[in-house]
Chain A
Amino acid sequence: MPLSALTGTRLRERRLALGLRQGDLAARVGVSASYLNLIEHNRRRIADALLERLAKALDVSLSSLQGGLADDLVDRLRAAAAAVPQAGAELERLEDLIGRFPGWAAALAELQDRSRALGHAVEVLNDRMAHDPHLSASLHEVLSAVSSVRTTAAILADTEDLDATWRQRFHQNLHADSERLALGAEALVAYLDAAGQGEDQAATTPQDEVEAWAEACDWDLGRAGGLGQSPHLASGAGRALAQALQAEILADRAAVPDTGLAAALNRHGPDPLALAAEFSVPVLSAFRRIALRPGADLGLLICDASGTLTLRKAVAGFSPPRFGAACPLWPLFTALARPETPVEAVIALPGPQGARFRVRAYCQVGYPGGFAGAGPQIELRRAAMLLLPEPAGPEQALAVGPTCRICPRPDCPARREPSILAA
C-alpha cells in the first residue's frame, strides 16, 4: 500500500476527531502507545496489516490514506504557495493544513490547477493571436458582419418613412450578414475551443479541419462517411469544404475507375497529363486521382490564382506550411504563371537529409461565366503539383524550402523575410 508522509497525521486527526485516547487505540490494534505515537508523527512506516486494523478501528477508508493522492496534493499546494510568494505561506505547516483541513486544502489545490490551466490557455491564445493570420482574418470577418448587421438593423428600426424597396433590400442584407456572422462565430468558437485544450497543433481553419479529417481517413475520402460526426470537422465551414472535396473525389473516381487507373499507372506511371488524355478528364482531376488513392505515397498541393494553397497532402520529407505564404520557388507557382504548360523539376528540401522529389505541376484555366453576360469575364486558375519521392541521383535539384520564415537557406535569392532559423 503506497503511503504518504501524511498518513500518520491523518490517523492522528481521525483519532482525535473520534475522541479516542492514544493508548486505547493502540490496545485495540495490538501495538504499544509509544509505537502508535511514532506512527502518528510520521516517524515509522506502517505495515499493510496494521494499517488495515487502524483504518477499521477508526472507521476510515484505506483509499483515503493512499500516498499517491496525498503527495500530489502536497505538490499542488507547494505550487500554489510559489505562485504567490508575497503571501508568505507557511510551508512547514503544510502537512498540518492537509491533515486538519482536507477540504480547504483540496479547494486551494483545485484553484491552483485552474489558475495554471487558464494561464496556459491565455499563453496559447496570445501566441496564436500574434502569429495566426487566420484568426486575424476570422475576427475581421466577424466584426465586418457585426458592423453591417448593426447599422442595417438601426436603419430598419429608426427610419419611419423607409420605402418598400429599401426595406426589402436591407432585410436581405441583414439576412445575408446574419448567416455570415453565424459562420464566423462558429469558426471562432471552434478555434478557441481547440486553443483552450492546449493543442498546439489543433486545426485552426476549416481547411486545417479538412486535412485532419482526410489524414485520419488516410485520404480514402471517397469511402469516408459520417462527415457530421467526425471530430475533426468542428465547424460548418469545415464540413462544407469536406463535402465539396468528397464530391470532387467521387466524381474523379467515377470518371477514372480503379481498374482503369491501375492499368494507366502501369502504362504511364504517375503522369497526370497522360491520364487526363486517356480518360478525357480535366488535368486537375487526374492529379487528384493519382495522389489521393489510399496508400499513395505521393504529395499533392493545389493552389488558386492568388497562390493560396487550397489542398495540402503532405508526404514524408515535405510538410507544407500551415500559416503564411509558401516558398516562391516551388514549381507549383511556376506552373501558375504558365497556364496549360506542364512543369517538371527535381526539388530538394534543405538540410543534410533534405528530401528530394520529382514534381509535376500544371495550371488549369476555367471560365465559369463563359462568353455570355455583362461585366468582366472571370478567369479561374488552379494549379496542382504532384510530389514523387526521388532517390539521390545526378540530376541537379532546385533548392527550395517550406516557407521563408522557417527555411535555413541564407543566400536564397527569393527570400521574402528573415528566417527564425538564421544563425
Chain B
Amino acid sequence: MAGRVLLIEDEPHIAEAIRFILSREGCEVAVEADGAQALARVAALSPDLVILDLMLPGMSGLEILAALRADAATAALPVMMLTAKGQGRDREAAERAGVSAFMAKPFSNAEMRAQVRALMEG
C-alpha cells in the first residue's frame, strides 16, 4: 500500500501510533498538529489521502474539509475524518461537506489499515 498520507492530528501519541502503523504498510506519512497550517501542508505535500481529526487547534476539521472541497485542486482528494463515537451532528456536517470516510475513536489498528487501504486503492 504505497502512497503519501497527511495526518492532521494534534494528539501526539495518536499521531505517532498512526504514523507507525501506516509506515509499516508502505505509506509515507507526514503529520501536522496545527489546523491553521493544514491547508498549506496539503498544498505543499499533495498527499494521496488526508486523515483529519475533527477537533483541532487553529482551524477545525470541518473547516479544513470545507476548504479542501471548495478548492478544485483538492475537491476529490480522499479525506478520512477521525471522530469520537456519538458526535452525530458533526458526522452529519462532515458528510454534507463531502468527507470520504469516518474512523471513530477509539479505533482498532486493523480498521485503520483496512480503511486507509480502501481509500488509497479505491
A binding-site residues for B, Cβ under 8 Å: 139-140, 143-144, 146-152, 154-155, 158-159, 166, 169-170, 173, 176-177
Contacts and interface: CB of A to CB of B under 8 A. Distances in A.
Give the interface SS of chain A, mostly helix, strand, loop or mixed: helix
B14 A151 contact: yes
Interface in B89-122: 105-109, 112
B18 interface: yes
B106 A155 contact: no
A23 B97 CA distance: 86
A138 to B, nearest CB: 12
Contacts of B106: 143, 146-147, 149-151
Contacts of B85: 143
Contacts of B112: 151
A148 to B, nearest CB: 4
Given A140-B55, A140-B84, A173-B16, A151 B11 contact: no
Interface of B: 11, 13-14, 16-18, 20-21, 24, 55, 84-85, 105-109, 112
Contact of B13 (A139, A158, A176): A176
A147 B11 CA distance: 10
A143 B13 contact: no
Contact of A170 (B11, B17, B84, B108): B17
Contact of A148 (B11, B20, B24, B108): B11
Contacts of A177: 13
A327 B20 CA distance: 45
A146 B20 contact: no
A146 to B, nearest CB: 5
Contact of A151 (B24, B55, B84, B109): B109
A166 to B, nearest CB: 7
B14 A148 contact: yes
Contact of A166 (B13, B20, B55, B107): B20
A132 to B, nearest CB: 15
A361 B84 CA distance: 40
13 contacts: A139-B84, A140-B55, A143-B105, A144-B84, A146-B105, A147-B11, A150-B106, A151-B14, A151-B17, A152-B17, A159-B24, A169-B16, A173-B16
Contacts of B14: 144, 147-148, 151
Given A144-B105, A147-B14, A155 B21 contact: yes
Contacts of A148: 11, 13-14, 17
A143 B14 CA distance: 11
Given A173-B13, A176-B13, A177-B13, A147 B21 contact: no
Contact of B108 (A144, A150, A152): A150
